């Protein structure tokens, strides 16, 4: 499961890394966020406009839904691999799930991130870790699906997305978690956005990211509060899983001097969600 992630890259870094344009409208909404949570507006690159960044809501609702669902994750195996066997090599059942089977075919997106937050299967965010790519490979893209839902009562159009998950790699197993978001190798990103790509190519992408390209360290459980934000959330409270000389994500947050301005916005939004 991947229910929280980090987005702190600058506009110029995203434009350079993904070779996209960011409109003035999206620029006006762009703020660093150390705790992207369900219901938040977050940047994605979607299949309907693969050279631009858009802001979608984190928490997927299918086009046919009578109400909002806020589904944050979609299992790549679908109903298969219920034991979460990390060695699973079978079919990707997401293509048959009623909730996701249309979007996986024609509405895919890159979910832009610098890190994600995960904890052990039992303790969850009571014992969180921040997981990030090593060797300055951020920002990166997680595989997402999106859809456009129209509120039947208000007529409001909501574009929302979910992050696709797969089995755990060695790093996630070291944390004690049984799942991992699908992190895309850069060479697969344009294929993921291409709705003409063969479905077999798409499902072949839904595999764990190499553990040696990632690292993680523990952070305080304050991250559990979806209203919380700021660089202090990413401060280390223990050692990295694999030894390094720096705590990369916290240092980057401190460099950007991130404030707490999004806390009030999310507080108002969460009041509408529950």
The 10s digit of each residue's pLDDT in 165-187 is 999 999 999 999 999 999 999 99
User: What's the rounded Cα separation, in Å, for the pair 188 and 206?
Assistant: 11
Taking CA 111 as the corner, what is the angle to CA 149 and CA 1, rounded to the nearest 5 degrees? 90
Q: 43 forms bridges with which residues in the sheet?
A: 55
Q: Please name every residue paired with 21 in a beta bridge, in sequence order, or none if there are none.
A: 52
* Residue pair 126/112 in contact by the 8 Å Cβ criterion: no
d(CA 37, CA 48): 24
Q: At 106, is the pLDDT very low, low, confident or very high (cuts 50, 70, 90)?
A: very high
Q: How far is 111 from 139, CA to CA, in rounded Å?
A: 10
Q: How many CB atoms lie within 10 A of CB 229?
A: 25
β pairing state of 157-167 and 54-58: parallel
Note whether 181 and 116 are within 8 A (CB): yes
- Give the separation between CA 99 and CA 65, rounded to whole angstroms: 9
115: Cα within 13 Å, side-chain hemisphere = 30
Beta strand 157-167 with 73-75 is parallel
Residue 109 to residue 111: CA distance in whole angstroms: 6
* Tens of pLDDT, residues 47-81: 999 999 999 999 999 999 999 999 999 999 999 99
Task: State residue 262's pLDDT score.
Answer: 41
Banded model confidence at residue 243, pLDDT cuts 50, 70, 90: confident
Q: What is the pLDDT of residues 186-229, one digit of tens each?
A: 999 999 999 999 999 999 999 999 999 999 999 999 999 999 99
Kindly report the average pLDDT of the chain as a whole number.
90
Which tokens hold the place of 86? 């990390």
CA dist list (Å): 10 to 27, 113, 208, 234: 10, 11, 27, 18
* 46/69 Cα distance (integer angstroms): 20
Indicate the number of domains in the chain. Answer: 1
Look up the domain containing 56 and give its range.
4-273
Nearest to 147 by CA among 26, 22, 58: 58
Reported as a single tens digit per residue, the pLDDT across 110-137 is 999 999 999 999 999 999 999 999 877 7
Q: Find the mean pLDDT for residues 91-103.
A: 97
Q: CA–CA separation, 30 vs 264, rounded Å?
A: 16
What's the CATH code of the domain at 58? 3.90.1680.10
Half-sphere exposure of 133 (CA within 13 A, CB side): 19
């Amino acid at each position: 499961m991947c229910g929280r992630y980090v987005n702190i890259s600058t506009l110029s870094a995203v434009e350079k890394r993904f070779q996209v344009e960011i409109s003035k409208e999206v620029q006006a909404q762009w703020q660093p966020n150390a705790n992207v949570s369900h219901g938040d507006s977050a940047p994605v690159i979607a299949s309907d406009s693969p050279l631009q960044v858009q802001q979608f809501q984190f928490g997927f609702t299918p086009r046919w839904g009578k109400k909002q669902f806020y589904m944050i994750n979609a299992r790549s195996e679908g109903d298969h691999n219920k034991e979460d066997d990390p060695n699973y090599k079978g079919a990707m059942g997401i293509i048959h799930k009623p909730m996701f089977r249309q979007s996986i075919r024609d509405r895919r997106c890159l979910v832009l991130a610098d890190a994600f937050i995960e904890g052990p299967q039992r303790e969850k965010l009571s014992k969180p870790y921040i997981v990030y790519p090593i060797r300055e490979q951020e920002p990166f893209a997680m595989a997402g699906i999106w859809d456009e839902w129209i509120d039947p009562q208000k007529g409001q159009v909501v574009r929302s997305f979910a992050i696709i998950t797969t089995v755990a790699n060695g790093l996630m197993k070291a944390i004690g978690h049984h799942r991992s978001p699908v992190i895309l190798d850069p060479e697969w990103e344009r294929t993921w956005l291409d709705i003409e790509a063969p479905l077999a190519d798409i499902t072949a992408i839904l595999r764990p990211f190499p553990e040696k390209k990632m690292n993680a360290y523990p952070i305080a459980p304050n991250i559990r509060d979806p209203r919380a934000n700021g660089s202090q959330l990413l401060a280390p409270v223990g050692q990295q899983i694999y030894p390094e000389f720096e705590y990369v994500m916290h240092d980057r947050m401190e460099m950007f001097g991130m404030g707490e301005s999004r806390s009030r916005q999310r507080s108002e939004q969460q009041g509408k969600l529950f």
